[in-house]
Amino acid sequence: MHHRILGQGLRVSAVGLGAMGMSQSYGPNPGDRDAMIAVLRGAAERGVTFFDTAEVYGPYVNEELVGEALAPLRDDVVIATKFGFRIADGGLDSRPKHVKAVADASLRRLRTDTIDLFYQHRVDPGVPIEDVAGAVGKLVQGGKVRHFGLSEAAAATIRRAHAVHPVTAVQSEYSLWTRDPEPEVLPTCGELGIGFVPFSPLGKGFLTGTVTAGTQFADGDVRAGIPRFTQDNRTANQALVDHVTALAGAKGVTPGQLALAWLLARHPWIVPIPGTRRIERVEENAGATRVPLSADERADLDTLTARIEVRGDRYNDHHMSLVDR
């Protein structure tokens, strides 16, 4: 596994692992906890050092899972978690007092003394970002947190936060069919020396070719409520996947590997965190670091969404309202 450097010198594997789906969002949750622990440990054994979780996943149980799985490997891995939601009602709360309380609780669940990367999960319009950055800065000074991150933050917010306490990474949805960070957020990260961590880098499975217009989502699968995943929009968006699949086939790689390789080729400080519940997918995703793209292939993929329009919003109205824009 290759490694990359996020902002402030945080060294991680070039492809990480998002653990959310092990506890929620993609249909019935795995009943075998030991199997998920085996996947997390197996990922680390295969060179993945960057693991992503959050208190709200479950809630709480995903952090507990990650903490138990990685405790024996703690010195060899980087664990990112997040604050900023009011768990009781799904609202936002980034008041400094709440940030500290979440950090203390997350440390217990993760079975560690220090959170490597602590993201604000969503920007809270009720709390100045300067106050949030200051609160995390105090946690850094106290040794409870190593690095500060933001998720789904706009460029102006990133700049304001970074002026108070250095931002190590910004996490947002980014993939071949979600290009929102390109106009402003990615240039800002490049200018300020901040790493960028794409979540849903495989389009919640769509870019792998395993989700089609005929797919029936199970109860509890978040995709059933996302506009981009209506049957009509999946039909319309299939042309994009067909193009990716054809190019991947010509190169002898999987569509998922091609989609990740494109992200890795965008900038050397981009580290995608695809999620999975299967060790064979961990191995496949890690293989993307060994997929070269020619200048022509990169140019082709760079302009793909300009040629093939993506249909449907990436979130429903409620979740779009939580994105800082």
In a domain, 44, yes or no: yes
Range of the domain at 271: 3-203+263-292
In a domain, 258, yes or no: no
pLDDT at 27 over 90: no
In a domain, 235, yes or no: no
In a domain, 239, yes or no: no
Q: What average pLDDT does this structure show over 79-88? A: 97
N- to C-terminal Cα separation, the chain:
35
Residues 130-140: tens digit of each pLDDT: 999 999 999 99
Contacts of 115 (CB under 8 A, 6+ apart): 79, 80, 81, 103, 106, 107, 139, 144, 145, 146
Confidence tier at 296 by pLDDT (50, 70, 90):
very high
Active-site residues, by number, are 57
Residue 290 CB-half CA count within 13 A: 9
Compute CA distances 151 → 32, 53, 171, 299, whole Å: 30, 12, 4, 28
CATH number at residue 170: 3.20.20.100
Confidence tier at 28 by pLDDT (50, 70, 90):
confident
Phi, psi of 117 (to 5 degrees): -140, 120
In a domain, 257, yes or no: no
Is 0.95 topped by the overall pTM?
yes
Give the per-residue pLDDT at 29: 81
3-state secondary structure of 184: coil
Give the per-residue pLDDT at 20: 97
Task: Report the amino acid identity of residue 84.
Answer: G
Give the per-residue pLDDT at 30: 80
Residues 155-212: tens digit of each pLDDT: 999 999 999 999 999 999 999 999 999 999 999 999 999 999 999 999 999 999 999 9
In a domain, 323, yes or no: no
Phi, psi of 283 (to 5 degrees): -65, -40
Q: Percent of the chain, pLDDT > 70?
A: 100
Q: How many domains does the chain have?
A: 1
In a domain, 37, yes or no: yes
Residue 28 CB-half CA count within 13 A: 4
Q: Are 39 and 71 in contact (CB under 8 A)?
A: no
Beta strands in the chain (DSSP E): 3-5, 11-13, 17-18, 50-52, 78-83, 85-86, 91-92, 115-120, 145-151, 167-173, 195-199
In a domain, 95, yes or no: yes
